[in-house]
Structure 1
Amino acid sequence: MILIADSGSTKTDWCLLHPEGKRSYFVTEGYNPHFSDEQQIIQSIKNNLSAEIDPLRIKEIYFYGAGCQDDKIGLMQGTLRSIFPNCRQVTAEVDLLAAARGLLGNKPGFAAILGTGTNTCIYDGNRIVNNIDSLGFILGDEGSGAAIGKKILSDYVRNKMPESVKQVFYHIYQLSPAEIINQIYGAPMANRFCASFTKFLKHQEVDPDYSHQLVRTSFTEFFSHLVSCYPAYNSYTFNCIGSVGYHFKAILEEVLNEFDMLPGRILPSLITELAGYHTGHENIYSSNT
């Protein structure tokens, strides 16, 4: 049996490939080795594995994850091997490669992630050939759920929200400015905490003009600081994976038009596409399972 995972900082989509071709899907929390240590990841995966999975029967794993770069690749591979000890192959790759493979297959193009965090690249149909660093939650990640959440929280704490919006925010979350500051600077997973507030902008009682302007500003920063910095960026279509890009697609397309870039595939998740990529491009059942 083979496992494929697409992990962001908030959630991980999994697909179990059975030898007879059946696919089973399930979801766990996200695993970013920059924010979670090995024991946290191990415990979480063990506690949240689908009941039909016997860890001893998993023979191959293809794990794509936020933060799976450089020395973190070895850390994630070792973590997975400790959970699935009979694996003959454990591959850990950055989630951006999953985005490119899932969105573009073996065709060259531009691929992006707009979820809790953000990332972008030029893909040649096989590998990433150009990537401008998003700089992560603290220094960058423009356009992401975490960046949008920071804007919401900043407006709330600094009393820059329209009064009607502020009242709705407090009614829903019952958070004081001090509690927000403590959560961001004193608790783990501040990026996930900030990103959780993006859904506030979809609340029916929130002024749509406020929501629209805040998201549009964040997406404009994403294009100004990242997308438009790629040579001939608008010669590509804009292909994107992630809940933020998908749920605010109409605003995203406004900004695409402003930057003279055509929309391509904009999807909320791509575990199905990744399963198709591996079963279609790799003979992964060529040996005994």
Structure 2
Amino acid sequence: MIVIADGGSTKTNWCLINEAGRKIYFNTEGYNPYFSKTEYITKSLNESLPDHLEREKLTEVYYYGAGCSTPANQKIVSDAMENVFINAKVYVGHDLLASCRALLGNEAGFAAILGTGTNSCLYDGKDITLNIDSLGYFLGDEGSGSFIGKRILADYMKGYMPKGLREAFYDNYALTNEDIFEQIYNKPLPNRFCASFSKFLYDFKDSFEDYTFATIDYAFTAFFENLVVHYPNYKDHKLNCVGSVGYSFRDILSIVADRYEMGVGKIIRSPIDDLVQYHLTTAKAD
């Protein structure tokens, strides 16, 4: 039996392929090694994996995760996986490679992640050939949920948010400025906290169309200006994207892409189904 996982900073989607070839899906929280260490990931997995999962029977684990771009970070995650899946061969790779495989398969092209965080690359059908670092939550991640959430929080705290939306925000969260400062500067996982507010904006997008468009357009324009346009010959590629933010606001993403003369290809919420198919197809080919 093998298991394939796509891990973002907020949520991990898993697919078990059992001995009969049946696919069984389940979720856990996300594990970004920049924020979560081996001990935390091990504890979380032990507490949240389904009871029906026969861990000792697993032979292979393929985990693609946010933040798993360096050997040191991959080891943080692989050590946790080996603690939990004691008989399995564990492979830990970057979630950006998972996105490439899900979006493009064995074809060359441009792929991006717009979820809690942001990432992007050029892919040659096998490997990532160029990746401009998005610099993470503090310095970049333009177009991501955390980037949008920071803008929403700033507008709320400064009083720039439309009155009705500001009232709805307080009704939903009852947060004071002091509460927000505490969450961002003193509590763990500030990126996840900020990103959670992109869903709030999505839920109210029809009632506050102008504010929603301006906020999301600002975020996706920053994504293009700071990342996409710096890829050589970017207009020769289509924008292929995975992630809840890109998918939820794909209409605005398409408008911004058109503004930069870039065609739009495949936009999906989660790569797990296409990633599983990639692995099954590759296994058959091998």
TM over 0.5: yes
Instruction: Please name the residue that 1:128 is paired with.
Output: 128
Instruction: Please name the residue that 2:68 is paired with.
Output: 68
CA distance in 2 between counterparts of 1:203 and 1:275 reads: 30
Unaligned 5+ runs, structure 1: none
CA distance in 2 between counterparts of 1:24 and 1:165 reads: 40
CA distance in 2 between counterparts of 1:19 and 1:234 reads: 44
> How large is the RMSD of aligned CA atoms in angstroms?
1.3
Counting matched residue pairs gives 284
Runs of 4+ aligned residues of structure 1 deviating over 4 Å after TM superposition are none
Cα deviation digits, residues 158-198 of structure 1 (max 9, x gap):
11112222112111111101101111101000000000001
For residue 270 of structure 1, report the CA deviation from its aligned partner.
1.3
CA distance in 2 between counterparts of 1:238 and 1:260 reads: 10
Instruction: Please name the residue that 1:186 is paired with.
Output: 186
Which residues of 2 match residues 1-289 of structure 1 at below 5 A? 1-70=1-70, 71-87=72-88, 89-204=89-204, 206-283=207-284
Q: TM-score, normalised by structure 2?
A: 0.97
Q: For residue 106 of structure 1, what is the amino acid of its counterpart? A: N
Equivalent residue of 1:12, what SS?
A: strand
CA distance in 2 between counterparts of 1:217 and 1:103 reads: 25
CA distance in 1 between counterparts of 2:266 and 2:52 reads: 32
CA distance in 1 between counterparts of 2:203 and 2:241 reads: 24
CA distance in 1 between counterparts of 2:280 and 2:121 reads: 24
Equivalent residue of 1:240, what SS?
A: strand
**8 Å contact from structure 2 (residues 11, 30) kept in 1:** yes
CA distance in 1 between counterparts of 2:195 and 2:77 reads: 24
CA distance in 1 between counterparts of 2:156 and 2:195 reads: 15
Equivalent residue of 2:196, what SS?
A: helix
Q: For residue 271 of structure 2, what is the amino acid of its counterpart? A: L
Q: For residue 60 of structure 1, what is the amino acid of its counterpart? A: E
CA distance in 1 between counterparts of 2:211 and 2:69 reads: 37
**8 Å contact from structure 1 (residues 168, 206) kept in 2:** no
**8 Å contact from structure 1 (residues 6, 95) kept in 2:** yes
Equivalent residue of 2:254, what SS?
A: helix
Q: For residue 126 of structure 1, what is the amino acid of its counterpart? A: K
Q: TM-score, normalised by structure 1?
A: 0.96
For residue 34 of structure 1, report the CA deviation from its aligned partner.
0.7
Identity of aligned residues (%): 47
For residue 54 of structure 1, report the CA deviation from its aligned partner.
1.3
CA distance in 2 between counterparts of 1:172 and 1:82 reads: 39
Unaligned 5+ runs, structure 2: none
Equivalent residue of 1:166, what SS?
A: helix
Cα deviation digits, residues 32-55 of structure 1 (max 9, x gap):
111011111111111111222111
For residue 203 of structure 1, report the CA deviation from its aligned partner.
2.9
CA distance in 1 between counterparts of 2:172 and 2:75 reads: 41
CA distance in 2 between counterparts of 1:114 and 1:45 reads: 25
Q: For residue 140 of structure 1, what is the amino acid of its counterpart? A: G
CA distance in 2 between counterparts of 1:180 and 1:206 reads: 25
For residue 216 of structure 1, report the CA deviation from its aligned partner.
0.6
Equivalent residue of 1:282, what SS?
A: helix
CA distance in 1 between counterparts of 2:44 and 2:214 reads: 37
CA distance in 2 between counterparts of 1:202 and 1:215 reads: 10
Cα deviation digits, residues 89-113 of structure 1 (max 9, x gap):
2110000000000100000000000
Decide which moves more: 95-104 or 15-24. Answer: 15-24
Equivalent residue of 1:39, what SS?
A: helix
Decide which moves more: 10-19 or 200-209. Answer: 200-209
CA distance in 1 between counterparts of 2:195 and 2:114 reads: 11
**8 Å contact from structure 2 (residues 37, 77) kept in 1:** no
Q: For residue 41 of structure 1, what is the amino acid of its counterpart? A: I
